[in-house]
Amino acid sequence: MYKHLMVSLVVVSAFLVCNNISFAEDVMPQERPPMEEAGMKPDFKPSHHNFAQKRHHHPSKEEMEAKKAEFEKRLNLSNEQKKQIEENRVKDRKLMKPVFEEMKAKRHAMKMVDFDATLTPEEKQAKKEELQTQMKGLKEKADSVREANMKNFESLLTEKQKKEFSKIQEEQEKEMQKRKAEFEKMRKERGEYHIPPQPRTIPLEK
């Protein structure tokens, strides 16, 4: 059930997010790396940098717009449906923005724990566990908003559109499984399962 929901969210995201491609950048701006904020900088470049870039590829605005157009065409959405979907998207965006901002703050705090010289190892571990618990609650809150959004979206569809949407979900799940298999194969070929050495650090230049 949860897997089916996640596939649905991925499919609909291509439609809902395309009109707001900069949302993540607006809500979660780039942070300084924790080493730099703590007065240090890494003196190495990961050998798997290009591999990581491929793994975390984010679709461009043009790609998202193309997916949106294909999605609309396949479901044959009416103008009224598109209008209602957009209104729901705007409403959910307002609900999600403070959650994303808090998640960003918690992730940053978790990264900075290791650089806090005032804490003992035990205190650092306790602080991380506390932050992880808080992050779990925020993720659950975000998931509940997404789930409600999905239910609202499906309630707007006709029976014929729901059948076509099911086909899209199946296709998307197959594509996700294919990409997962390709990714795992690439990792094995590149030996990415070993733990990379920890970077040495040097003081930042004044």
Q: Which residue has the tokens 């795992």?
A: 184
Let me know if residue 48 belongs to a domain: no
Determine the Cα–Cα distance for residues 93 and 146; give it in Å rounded to an integer. 10
Range of the domain at 107: 2-34+59-203
Let me know if residue 42 belongs to a domain: no
Let me know if residue 198 belongs to a domain: yes
Number of domains in the chain: 1
Let me know if residue 88 belongs to a domain: yes
Let me know if residue 44 belongs to a domain: no
**What does the pLDDT look like over 134-192, one tens digit per residue?**
999 999 999 999 999 999 999 999 999 999 999 999 999 999 999 999 988 888 887 75
Determine the Cα–Cα distance for residues 178 and 131; give it in Å rounded to an integer. 34
Let me know if residue 74 belongs to a domain: yes
Determine the Cα–Cα distance for residues 20 and 18; give it in Å rounded to an integer. 5
Let me know if residue 6 belongs to a domain: yes
Let me know if residue 51 belongs to a domain: no
Positions of E strands within 8-95? 40-42
Overall pTM surpassing 0.75 (yes/no): no
Residue 62 pLDDT: 87
Q: What is the percent of the chain where pLDDT is above 90?
A: 53
